[in-house]
Structure 1
Amino acid sequence: MKISFLLICLLVLTVTRDCTSERCDDWGEDTRKLTQAYDGEPVRLRCPLFEDYLKHNYSTAHSAGLTLMWYWTGKGKDLEEPINIRLPDNRISKDKDILWFRPALLNDTGNYTCMLRNTTFCLKIAFPFEVLKKDADSCVSINKAAEVVIFPLQDTALLTCPDTTGYYPTDVTPTVNWYMNCILVDGFVDRDPKGLSLQFINVLQKYEGNYTCIVSYDENGRPYNLTRTIYVKTIASHLQARPPVMITPNDKQTFEFIAGGELHIPCEVYFSYVNNSYTDIGWRINGKSEGDFTDQRVLVNESVTLDMGNPGAKTIKKELRIKNITPDELKHNYTCTAKNTLGVVSRQALVKEKVGTPRYITELACGLGATLFLVVCFVIVYHVYWLEMVLFYRAHFGTDETIGDGKEYDVYVSYARNAEEEEFVLVTLRGVLENEFGYKLCIFDRDSLPGGSK
């Protein structure tokens, strides 16, 4: 009987424990909480449950009898294991809702789970942790995300080495070295290192880049380094902040379009950089805004051009297009409006119907053009073939000028006595002039015989 009672109690306890586990609220993996650290450097992981998922802090939860437990799943593994915080070198330890690594190693990469529970309540969440090696010949790794800070040009600014509080005792003064793009500079121009801060006396655009602070300190006789990188981005000076400036349309422009054609009007606006400001630009047709356009013929295209000489400033161009525009639509009111937090600018485009060229003028122009073309063609042909044209005319329409002139020959031909010229005269020249055109040739040595005609 006693053995049976013990078995029943054990079964009840097992069922109760399983039911309790099944009721555990699992929030899954919060990838937004990715923590990155460098190999050999200390790092702390804070349980996200007390930041975004619970209204109470760790002390309140602990007072209510809840226990915080840590688990991890190594990279490339599926089995979740409890974290061993009793290592001989005390490398991993817990402090309230923080899990400490002094230091973190490459094989610590994985998913970490913090679980808050008692006998009736359970809540857990996982988040990733990645340990990186620094790139060769570099003070950082390109795979580690850098915090971004924005400084206005021509201003003074203070850059502070982030996330160092609580890593070393308050009575310890660490050594801090500042680097720009991983180059240690002893004398910064317009920049003055002061421990954990870097003072920018005058922010210039050429100072934009990665700034790395390496904090060195000793704790319990062991040296540690903290590497933090911030990307400094420059934007236009607040002294140059202005309301929008509309470039086009303006009062000196008139847009003319033919009815039945396509209307296209650009609206081009320059926006200077204004901190925490919006930029808005839009067209209105007869008081109707872009969101109310339902006609498929109406299109609006937008493009943005950055001002490379003035960081943060830009020019926005919004072009309004209407296909198959009607005469009535050419009389509508087309207004472009642009605004930011400093002001609003609005301007109407001057649009009118373009008068087409009269038809008779077009026909006359075409006739004159055709006539001029024919005249030019005739001049070119006459210039090239004038001799052939004269001979052709004489052969078919001209009168025989040799009749009644009392001459026996029309042409006297003399030539040098060599085989080439003799062949040309007796074959080619004689064949053309005598046989084709009927001229009588007196050829030396053929017709100039002793006692003959002279």
Structure 2
Amino acid sequence: MMPLVVTLLCLCILKMGGFSASVTQASVQSDVQCLDWGVWSEGAVQVYDGEVAWLYCPLFSHPTLYSYNQTQNSSLSLLWYRHTRTHELEQPINLKLHTLHKDREYLWIQPATAQDAGLYICMLRNISSCVKIGVELEVIQRDKECDPGTRPHLNLTIPMQSDRTLECPDLKTLTLPNSTYSVTWYHLCRSELFIGNRELKGDDLVIYRMYTPYAGLYTCVVSYQMNGRTLQFTRAINITAVVANVGSKVPDILNPASDQIYTVTLGDKATLSCRVHLPHLFKEKQEIWWTIDNKTVEQLADPRFSSPEATLLSEYFGDETKERLLHVMDFSADDLQKEFNCSARNSRGFNTSRAILKSQPYVPTLELGCGLGVTLALMLMMFVVYHVFWLELLLLYRSWFGSDERYTDDKQYDVYISYARNSEEEEFVLSTLRRVLETEFGYSVCIFDRDSLPGGTITDDTLRFVGQSRRLAVVVSPCSTVRGTQALLELQAGLTSMLHGGSLRVVLIQFKPVRWKSWVKELRQARLALTLIRWQGEKSAPLSSRFWKQLQLELPMRRTTDKHMPLPDITQHTHHAENTHPGKEKLIDCYSTSAL
């Protein structure tokens, strides 16, 4: 008979669902195997240091399981043990201590201290059978009589505008009959006068009409006398205000609505949303689910369909709005013919709504995004390359597609160099500019003092040389801004040729910085329309510098395969030109004077 009773006892405990996984092991008290059902996760006890604690044996928590009276009438015995961190084995409870007291299925600790915290185990056993379960006791400290962080012993919901009487939990259990005790109530840890719609009646707190400010944590502290000692315990009740229990309580499906259309993409993942408004019903579980052709996801057993549990979106005085999603992987054309329904149910009624689906062509978003990203990256790279190497690119383009002007005109020189004589510019022109243009780039250069013949006039020869040149390179310096010099005459000749539709182009080379206000009128007008290339000393000396690349871009195109003719000595030409023009104007150093 007894093994059958113990087996029934174990099966009932398993159905209760409030216990952790069991392990069958040998009891340390005897050789009889004891069914160990672990720790009761829902029965943990929290008590303040110095207050009364009582532990209930969970083996008696179900009325049909076993009662304490039946235990007393049978050969089963109720024993209590304790498991602490300092001992590996379970230790029997010493009931001789004045703070410990066993009363039926309860174990009292009056009062509990921090040393009493730990795991307490209640065991039902006889000679041939044994079953046990553990209850955790937590002893916490508090600084004042009321602690707002108290874990509630009871959660209640009270509809708005309704009444409710609050009783201090365990008051009749923990106090002896006919004993003297007092009950102090707190709301949100404030010991205030409960007047108006709330009133203290004896040991209870009556709420005549529930309002929002009355919600929150209520704490009752009970003090009583026992064996000449003053003991107390604290209980907390959490009150939640909910909507009044009026009107329809049937679930309302918000999504999918009657006129709503879900757009899905064939071959892609589709997600359907079911949003439901659930009116508050006290201690009632309300269900939300999806069906596909009147079958739930579990019944369908198709790995392409999945539906996680509903999530809470919002809550208003107990009324909840929840959402449950349906995921369909690799949505196909056949799925469009299926019926997708969102349903919700509670004790007041049932509601369902069908999802209307519409397919749209597959848009390769990833491919288009990658293509657009690559295009933008290439454009950005090309912009950076052009911004940094635009001179090189233009020179390269001109070398591939440009035409040689020597085959389209009858000009004799590529460039005529105009500069101020008897100055620093003359040394720059003869030793640097002329040398690079002729020997490195292969241009035919005309320098008046070198290439003019004796016997002619300066004005006629200047106009003739300028007319026979494709470019006029004007070296701008303080000397070239002086009116009456040959450099100004050469500039005027070049500008006149350009204005009358000639093929001559004028290029300005700034050798020395010149103040804008000191420029002659012709130079100021030319600067607005012509390119100005600045010589920056040693920085511009290498052939790879920006100065030479800009100058090449303004001069006629020459292939790198052109063969250069040997050039006569510059000093001989200069000396010959000075001696063969006795009628030429007497040049002065323009750095010591500003005008002729």
TM-score computed with the length of structure 1 as normaliser: 0.64
Give structure 2 stretches of 5+ with no counterpart. 1-28, 365-374, 463-596
- What's the CA shift for 1:165? 0.8
227-236 or 382-391: which moved more? 382-391
Corresponding residue number in structure 1 for 2:230: 223
User: Identity, % of aligned pairs?
Assistant: 17
Q: Find the aligned partners of 1:198 and 1:23 in 2 and give their Cα distance.
A: 53
CA contact (8 A) 1:164 1:226 kept: no
Aligned ranges 1:31-50 → 2 under 5 Å: 31-32=39-40, 37-43=47-53
- What's the CA shift for 1:160? 2.8
Corresponding residue number in structure 2 for 1:281: 289
Q: Find the aligned partners of 1:392 and 1:148 in 2 and give their Cα distance.
A: 91
Corresponding residue number in structure 2 for 1:14: none
Structure ranking higher on relative contact order (CA contacts 8 Å, 6+ apart): 1
Q: Find the aligned partners of 1:334 and 1:422 in 2 and give their Cα distance.
A: 94
- What's the CA shift for 1:161? 1.6
Corresponding residue number in structure 1 for 2:353: 346
CA contact (8 A) 2:252 2:277 kept: yes
Secondary structure of the residue aligned to 1:83 is coil
Secondary structure of the residue aligned to 2:433 is helix
- Cα shift readout 1:270-323 (whole Å, capped 9, x = no counterpart): 3334321422221314x5542343554x23243644334535623314133232
Give the residue type in structure 2 aligned to 1:337: C
Secondary structure of the residue aligned to 1:401 is coil
CA contact (8 A) 1:106 1:131 kept: no
Corresponding residue number in structure 1 for 2:483: none
Residue 80 of structure 1 pairs with residue 88 of structure 2: no
Corresponding residue number in structure 2 for 1:266: 272
- Cα shift readout 1:174-233 (whole Å, capped 9, x = no counterpart): 1313252xx33425799846254445544538944x432111233565322121123445
Q: Find the aligned partners of 1:92 and 1:172 in 2 and give their Cα distance.
A: 21
- What's the CA shift for 1:266? 1.4
Secondary structure of the residue aligned to 1:262 is coil
CA contact (8 A) 1:115 1:122 kept: no
Give the residue type in structure 2 aligned to 1:427: T
Corresponding residue number in structure 1 for 2:153: 147
- What's the CA shift for 1:163? 0.5
Q: Find the aligned partners of 1:161 and 1:307 in 2 and give their Cα distance.
A: 34
Distance change in 2, residues 1:127/1:386 (3 Å): closer
Q: Find the aligned partners of 2:44 and 2:51 in 1 and give their Cα distance.
A: 17
Secondary structure of the residue aligned to 2:410 is coil
Give the residue type in structure 1 aligned to 2:437: V
Q: Find the aligned partners of 1:412 and 1:305 in 2 and give their Cα distance.
A: 85
Give the residue type in structure 2 aligned to 1:174: S
Secondary structure of the residue aligned to 1:423 is helix
CA contact (8 A) 2:269 2:330 kept: yes
CA contact (8 A) 2:276 2:321 kept: yes
Q: 2:320 aligns with which of 308, 313, 317?
A: 313
146-155 or 384-393: which moved more? 384-393
- What's the CA shift for 1:441? 2.1
- What's the CA shift for 1:347? 1.3
Q: Find the aligned partners of 2:242 and 2:37 in 1 and give their Cα distance.
A: 36
Q: Find the aligned partners of 2:246 and 2:421 in 1 and give their Cα distance.
A: 96
Secondary structure of the residue aligned to 1:428 is helix
428-437 or 148-157: which moved more? 428-437
CA contact (8 A) 1:31 1:128 kept: yes
Secondary structure of the residue aligned to 1:313 is strand
Distance change in 2, residues 1:294/1:410 (3 Å): same
The RMSD of aligned alpha carbons is 5.3
Distance change in 2, residues 1:132/1:299 (3 Å): closer
Corresponding residue number in structure 2 for 1:432: 437
Corresponding residue number in structure 2 for 1:302: 308
Give structure 1 stretches of 5+ with no counterpart. 1-20, 358-368
- What's the CA shift for 1:397? 7.0
Name the structure where strand makes up a greater proportion of residues.
Answer: 1
- Cα shift readout 1:30-53 (whole Å, capped 9, x = no counterpart): 843655544443455666676647
CA contact (8 A) 1:242 1:272 kept: yes
Secondary structure of the residue aligned to 1:184 is coil
Give the residue type in structure 1 aligned to 2:327: L
Corresponding residue number in structure 2 for 1:423: 428
Name the structure where helix makes up a greater proportion of residues.
Answer: 2
Corresponding residue number in structure 2 for 1:336: 341
Give the aligned length: 396
Residue 213 of structure 1 pairs with residue 220 of structure 2: yes
Q: Find the aligned partners of 1:294 and 1:203 in 2 and give their Cα distance.
A: 48
Secondary structure of the residue aligned to 2:171 is coil
- What's the CA shift for 1:401? 1.4
Give the residue type in structure 2 aligned to 1:290: V
Q: Find the aligned partners of 2:287 and 2:450 in 1 and give their Cα distance.
A: 102
